[in-house]
Structure 1
Amino acid sequence: MSGTALALVLAGAFCHAVWNIVAKKAGGGAAFVFLFGVVSVVAAAPVAAWTWTRLPQHFDATMWCAAAGSGLIHVLYSLALQKAYREADFAVVYPVARGTGPMLSVVVAILLLGEAPSLVGGVSVGAILAGVFVSAGGAGLWRGGAQKRHLGALWGAATGAFIAAYTVLDGWAIKTLGMVPILFYAVGLAVRTLLLAPFALRRIDDLRREWRTRRAAILAVGLLSPTAYSLVLFAVQRAPVSYVAPVREISMLVGTFIGASLLREEMKPSQIAGAAIMLAGVVGLAWA
């Protein structure tokens, strides 16, 4: 993986960890998802327009389907994530979601996209996934007597499945269809907003109340979320999806330490150990 690709992914991982912490503190539902989606569309539109003047691209039917499919999966991902944050601790949901996503992404990228990681790359990917598993609590996640933790793991895994789905679809669109990342992402953002609009606009009072009470969080998530993923899409142009997906999970390290402080959640030794294992895997991928 090139230094440029690694820098893009790490910057995106930092933005991702921060917006997830903000979203956890907000604890919003569908109205929250719709409003931060609107902010994302407004922020991305001028950037996409400027990009199109520099790199105009004609969308054929396959490209439109890919962008629409990505938008739909992102909606389901956002709703599942907010549900998970309402049901369980960030320290459980975030690592499980971020671990399940790349694990499935790597498998699908190898099987469907024909990617073949080198030995060092494969070992490094394994280290990152092992680190995520350890940070999440390892086998302890499935022991009895902790219904809230089990629920968080379940919703986290469901969220991770959506992460894997959009990661592979978006990687295919960028690498195989040759779509310009920011244009592809902007169309996907618009699709998400349109899909949620009929449900959100039926409850205008809820939207107004959500905006009044969570305005700062809506703006933060609405700006940081597209920034984080746009950086990842640019990285996919420069490196295999099977490398990019696991390196994104360095956000787990950032989220573990920042989240423990801001959310006042206990930081366990397993989380620190898992973060160290992930960091070793990221260093390995930098040399792969």
Structure 2
Amino acid sequence: MSTTVFFAVIGAAILHASWNALVKGGADKYVGIAAVAIGHVPFAVVALMFVPTPAAESFGYLAAGILLHVGYQLFLLQSYKVGDLTQVYPIARGSAPLIVALVSVTVLGVVLVPMEIAAILIIGVGILSLSLTRHADGMRNNKAALFALGTGVFIASYSLIDGIGARLAGTSVGYYAWLSIGNAAIMVVYFLILRPVTLTDMARHGRKVFFIGGGASFVAYALVTWAFTQAPIALVTALRETSIVFALLIGVFFLKERLNLAKLLSTFVTLLGAALLRFART
């Protein structure tokens, strides 16, 4: 992985952690998710003024990507309804790179060197280990873990589809801009039919998340989509999920959350995997 791609994905991870912190800090997660998803639209429209139209060969992947992103968002909301962020998020984000790597090697025929495979495994284990801490009542939430794993499957699926689609499109930004608009349109219809109060609340109280969170999210995944065209999807996905480390740091330094030894060790393991990924083929 080149230095440019490496730091582009790290930048995307920081942006991803930032908008997640905005959503986490909000009282209504439905409003937060809606504001971020719909907040992509103005940035996507501006981007489309400067990039070519995606090639027709990518249209099938574009349609599949839109549906998978919608599924991911709805599954994530359901996960948060039955479980805590500190359990759901690490399982969802930690399982995704492992699934992508498995599919890439066994189905797509991607060849990864042993150090790259080791780095992906280390990152996945480091992130997943953050979910092992028991809650104050000493109990684990198996239902939440199952939903979180399902969310991870959606993340892995849209990563693979978007990686292939962006390459076929000939314009990674154009591909993702149209995907963002399609995703936002479906989310608007979903909330209009099932939870219209969400859109009203978003207009009243979600403007900060709409512009800041939507912008950060759009730029973050636009960088990732570009990176998919420059490096193996499995490596980009694994490195992107180091966003959980930045989310943890934001939580500690800005949200005043507690940092215990288990979280510190998990963070160290994840960063070790990222370092191995950077220097795997140098």
The answer to whether TM tops 0.5 is yes
Q: Which residue in the other structure is 1:172 paired with?
A: 164
Alignment match, 2:37: 37
Q: 1:277 aligns with which of 266, 269, 272?
A: 269
Matches within 5 A, 1:1-288: 1-28=1-28, 32-52=32-52, 57=53, 59-60=55-56, 62-137=57-132, 146-147=139-140, 149-175=141-167, 177-202=168-193, 205-288=197-280
Q: For 2:152 and 2:165, how far apart are their aligned partners in 1?
A: 20
Q: CA deviation at 1:267?
A: 2.9
1:116 shift after superposition: 1.1
* C-alpha RMSD over aligned residues: 2.3
The 8 Å contact of residues 13 and 240 in structure 2, kept in 1 or not, is answered as: yes
Distance of 1:107 and 1:245 partners within structure 2:
12
* Contact 2:130–2:262 under 8 Å retained in 1: yes
Q: Matched residues in 1 for 2:151 and 2:27: separation?
A: 16
Structure 1 residue 102: Cα displacement: 0.9
| Separation in structure 2 between the aligned mates of residue 38 and residue 279 of structure 1, nearest angstrom | 32
The letter of the residue matching 2:5 is A
Asked whether the 8 Å contact 1:120–1:284 carries over to 2, the reply is yes
Give the deviation of 1:172 after TM superposition.
1.3
Structure 2 counterpart of 1:122, which letter?
I
TM-score normalised by L of structure 2 = 0.89
Unpaired segments ≥5 residues, structure 1? none
| Deviation (angstroms), 1:241 | 0.9
Give the Cα–Cα distance (whole angstroms) in 2 for the partners of residues 151 and 262 of structure 1.
30
Q: Deviations over 1:16-65 (max 9, x none)?
A: 1111121122254555544433321111111122122xxxx4532x4222
1:251 and 1:130 mapped to 2: Cα distance?
14
> 8 Å contact 1:137–1:271 — kept in the other structure?
no
Q: Find the residue that maps to 2:241 and give its secondary structure.
A: helix
Q: Which amino acid aligns with 2:241?
A: E
Spell out, residue by residue over 1:224-280, the C-alpha distance to the aligned partner (whole angstroms, 9 max, x if none): 111111111111122111211111121111112212455554433221111101111
Report the secondary structure of 1:51's partner residue. coil
* 1:83–1:155 CA contact under 8 A, matched in 2: yes
TM-score (norm 1): 0.87
**For the residues of structure 2 that align with 1:11 and 1:247, how far apart are their CA atoms?**
11
Q: Contact 2:23/2:33 (CA < 8 Å) preserved in 1? A: no
Stretches of structure 2 lacking an aligned partner (at least 5 in a row): none
Q: 1:222 to 1:214 in 2, by over 3 A?
A: same
Identity %, equivalent residues: 26
Alignment partners' CA distance in 2, 1:241 and 1:200: 32
**CA–CA distance in 2 between the matches of 1:135 and 1:217?**
26
Tell me the SS of whatever aligns to 1:238: coil
1:152 CA displacement: 3.6
| Matched pairs, number | 278
